[in-house]
Structure 1
């Protein structure tokens, strides 16, 4: 009976891991894209996209949307930008050579606030190399 209980517990943990399967994926073919997604599903939390060498990345945040002035922060660095709202996401452009993006590369933490509503972007330490590669390829 104990073996069955152990097998059931492991199966439940594996099922939870699949449901919480959010990861960061770097796509280098075509426009550069770094996506926080559940692979092979339409589920997205955030997408960074840029043309190689442009030094400008667009950040799409899925969830609550708001248009207006965006306050962007990472570590002690801050920036402002214009947020554009769509039905299911909001977008803001960031220069990859701006100090706020530089801090984001170090901390993996970015906060975007529009009209008092905050959305956080977190790149876990295991995925920071993908973020740095994205920035390297985007930078001109």
Structure 2
């Protein structure tokens, strides 16, 4: 019986979280300001945007994307920019964006940001229901 319970517990741990468990959460009560695509109350993260209030620079971290480093093309709406992406901890990639750049403005308006470095492509999508959090993040970050 205990073997069956142990096997069931292991199966629950290895089962991926349902898509509905993922959400966008804004942490604006302290510095840095963070907008996280996460499963709340777990260490599960897909991406984060963070900034020091008033700095006008957002740092985007994409998790499980370690092969996207070097010169990176970023686009939102009809705006594009080139920036440097760098490897972060645990297979993540970090990119800095100015919150006053047209690409970030289009991202805040539409909720979609595409990135490509070499052959690797990634799109960050923020659903309509969470765009107010992205706009509030940009407001808090802008100087």
Partner residue of 2:4? none
Residue 138 (1) aligns with residue 141 (2): yes
Counting matched residue pairs gives: 125
Partner residue of 2:59? 58
Give SS of 1:20's match: helix
Structure 2: runs of 5 or more not aligned: 1-15
User: What do you get for the CA RMSD once the two structures are aligned?
Assistant: 1.6
Residue 23 (1) aligns with residue 23 (2): yes
Q: What is the CA-CA distance between 1:17 and the residue it aligns to?
A: 8.4
Q: What is the CA-CA distance between 1:64 and the residue it aligns to?
A: 2.0
Q: What is the CA-CA distance between 1:115 and the residue it aligns to?
A: 1.7
Q: What is the CA-CA distance between 1:25 and the residue it aligns to?
A: 0.3
Structure 1: runs of 5 or more not aligned: 1-15
Give SS of 1:39's match: coil
Q: Give the TM-score taking structure 1 as reference length.
A: 0.84
Partner residue of 1:8? none
CA contact (8 A) 2:31 2:53 kept: no
Aligned counterpart in structure 2 of residue 71 of structure 1, from 59, 70, 73: 73
Distance in 2, Cα, partners of 1:79 & 1:43: 29
CA contact (8 A) 2:76 2:106 kept: yes
Aligned counterpart in structure 2 of residue 123 of structure 1, from 114, 123, 126: 126
Moved >4 Å (runs of 4+): 16-19
Distance in 2, Cα, partners of 1:59 & 1:35: 10
Distance in 2, Cα, partners of 1:84 & 1:38: 25
Q: What is the CA-CA distance between 1:20 and the residue it aligns to?
A: 3.3
Distance in 2, Cα, partners of 1:91 & 1:17: 24
Distance in 2, Cα, partners of 1:18 & 1:118: 24
Distance in 1, Cα, partners of 2:80 & 2:19: 34
